[in-house]
Amino acid sequence: MHKRRKRLRLPIAMAVGALTAGGLATVQFTALADSGAGAADVARQRDFAAAAAEYDIPVNVLLGLAYQESGWGAHGALPSADGGFGPMHLTDVTPEMMAGGAAGA
């Protein structure tokens, strides 16, 4: 029984090594594919950095809030199913609309 365990160790180690190497290669190629940030992405990042500086909010907090609100979902010029626009999921609801019940909330 002891010899059988030794015979299984090498094939198992080779299989684990091959799977690990394959996984690492996939991660590297995925990172390379995602690293090509377009001009719109760079501009958006600059806009977030400027807003964070203007309102004295850490940029990571602002980015986290935007992700929480929209999940980075892009709807173009159309509103989302909840009526929000853009990465901050902005709406045209005013405090008066909220108080009067006309906000749809």
The pTM assigned to this predicted structure is 0.49
The ranges assigned to domains in the chain are 1-36, 45-99
Q: What are the phi and psi torsion angles at 90 (to 5°)?
A: -75, 150
Encode the chain (105 residues) as per-residue pLDDT tens digits: 555 556 666 667 666 555 555 554 444 444 444 555 588 778 888 988 999 999 999 999 988 888 888 777 777 778 777 778 877 777 888 888 878 877 665
Q: Which amino acid is at 92?
A: D
| Burial letters 6-36, b for 16+ CB under 10 A, else e | eeeeeeeeeeeeeeeeeeeeeeeeeeeeeee
3-state secondary structure of 71: coil
